[in-house]
Structure 1
Amino acid sequence: MSDSLIPGEVVHLRHWQRERPSLVLPLRVVEERGDAVVLWAPAGTRAWHFNMPDGRGMAATPLPEWSSSDRIPMSHSIDHGVLSWHWRERDYSIRWFFTPEGEFFRWYANLEAPSLIWRGDGIAGVDTTDWDLDVVVEPDRSWRWKDEEEFVARLAEPESYWVDDEDRVRRAGKEVIGLVEAGVFPFDGSWCDFTPDPSWPPLPAGLPPGWDQPPGGGVTPPRSR
């Protein structure tokens, strides 16, 4: 099998927190580029957040307990379509959000570690560490920080937090904001009229074998084209 990702195939986006998964979301490959991969998931796709065994989420759990505990997958359905652009060498991904009817309504800049794209035995993935602080961008290119209070509070507990470089995270956010204010890609209107291939079947509703492989799948990432 090719070691590149294939348009139409399913990959699993995984967010990590100190070697523990916090999110698994199946998406379909739209295209792979030399420096990035473009992915799609329609509204209604089933994803998994990982909560404490008693059901508590991150907001209800002290950070030291959260960071040191194994957690269990809890399924939920996303309520909007998402076109997600993941670079291999940037400290963020950009998501285009669409209504269930297919209308673009917002960009979302997820500040995160550069994506590691990999393929294992029967599974492909995109792995990153989510840095919590994000930038929300409206169609008129007005923007706002998201989750800044939580980000600052967690930085005060460095022994338990998976973010150790506040300046790097904020630089990534400011880079995004610069692109927004300049009106250049990805905030120039590109992909806002995206429609998925109608032949694509629904994304899988269950966690696949191999979803819990270590970050990067423990294998060599696919070769860039």
Structure 2
Amino acid sequence: MGVQFDSGETVYLRHLQRQQIGLIFPFQAVAGHEDAVLLWAPAGTQGWHFNMTDGRGMAQTPLPEWSASPRVPVPHTVDHGVLSWHPYGRDYSIRWFFRPDGTFYRWYANLEAPAVTWRAGDLAGLDTTDWDLDVVIEPDRGWRWKDEEEFVARLAMPDSYWVDDEERVRRAGKEVIALAEAGAFPFDGTWCDFRPDPDWPPLPLDLPAGWDRAR
């Protein structure tokens, strides 16, 4: 069991790439889950990608340059609600995507290192390493791999990439696919009607002091 978060508390998800941060995104904690972290962000939530100082993103930058260069936070906003489930010790998180009117429309399996929760004073977070390869699951439980070409291309540059075990990543994806095909949790309809607590405070709009704390 990791750090326990209070209901409605802001929790910052950080995607780490070697010693750098690739993304920070604020969520609200959904309390009451001992074997996982469950987080919510409404449509319109602002997070930060970390891009090159000249404005280039990862897709526009050769991987060796990307990994060796300092990067700066650039705000970005999501246009859908996200419920994000991070089971302890598993190589993925599962996200429920909701339209602004609250209608569920898709699952998204983010293949990633097992979540590590932390708290530093008033700041709370969850750290992982995004493994780039993902699985998209539709409401009828049809599925497809996502970003496979980019994943394979980056594996060919092991001195610059933060993924070093292709088989582990694909094994995690296959585990998710088997659950989806079986209609088993988390693809059994659980939380597809999720609604956040209306009394939760709004998420902050600025990066907090301490966002760059060591992993």
TM-score relative to the length of structure 1? 0.93
The one-letter code matched in structure 2 to 1:187 is F
Aligned to 2:122: 122
Q: Tell me the secondary structure at the aligned position of residue 209 of structure 1.
A: coil
Q: Deviations over 1:17-40 (max 9, x none)?
A: 001000100000012422211000
Aligned to 2:181: 181
Q: Tell me the secondary structure at the aligned position of residue 129 of structure 2.
A: strand
Contact 2:8-2:201 within 8 A present in 1 as well = no
Q: Deviations over 1:70-104 (max 9, x none)?
A: 10000011110000001120000000000011100
The correspondence of residues 58-97 of structure 1 with structure 2, limited to 5 A, is 58-97=58-97
Segments of 5+ residues of structure 1 without an aligned counterpart are 216-225
Aligned to 1:53: 53
Distance, in Å, in 2 between the alignment partners of 1:55 and 1:32 is: 40
Contact 1:115-1:127 within 8 A present in 2 as well = yes
Aligned to 2:15: 15
Q: Tell me the secondary structure at the aligned position of residue 186 of structure 1.
A: coil
* TM superposition shift of 1:122: 1.3
Distance, in Å, in 1 between the alignment partners of 2:209 and 2:88 is: 25
Distance, in Å, in 2 between the alignment partners of 1:18 and 1:32 is: 32
Seq. identity, %: 69
Aligned to 1:222: none
Q: Tell me the secondary structure at the aligned position of residue 33 of structure 1.
A: coil
Q: Tell me the secondary structure at the aligned position of residue 190 of structure 1.
A: coil
Contact 1:35-1:89 within 8 A present in 2 as well = no
Aligned to 1:198: 198
Q: Deviations over 1:41-82 (max 9, x none)?
A: 000001000000000000100000001111000001111000
Aligned to 2:170: 170
Indicate the larger mover: 34-43 or 169-178.
Answer: 34-43
* TM superposition shift of 1:13: 0.3
Higher relative contact order structure (alpha carbons within 8 Å, sequence separation ≥ 6): 1
CA RMSD of aligned residues (A): 0.8
Aligned to 2:157: 157
- Runs of 4+ aligned structure 1 residues displaced above 2 Å come to none
Distance, in Å, in 2 between the alignment partners of 1:21 and 1:214 is: 10
TM-score relative to the length of structure 2? 0.97
Q: Is 1:31 the counterpart of 2:31 in the alignment?
A: yes
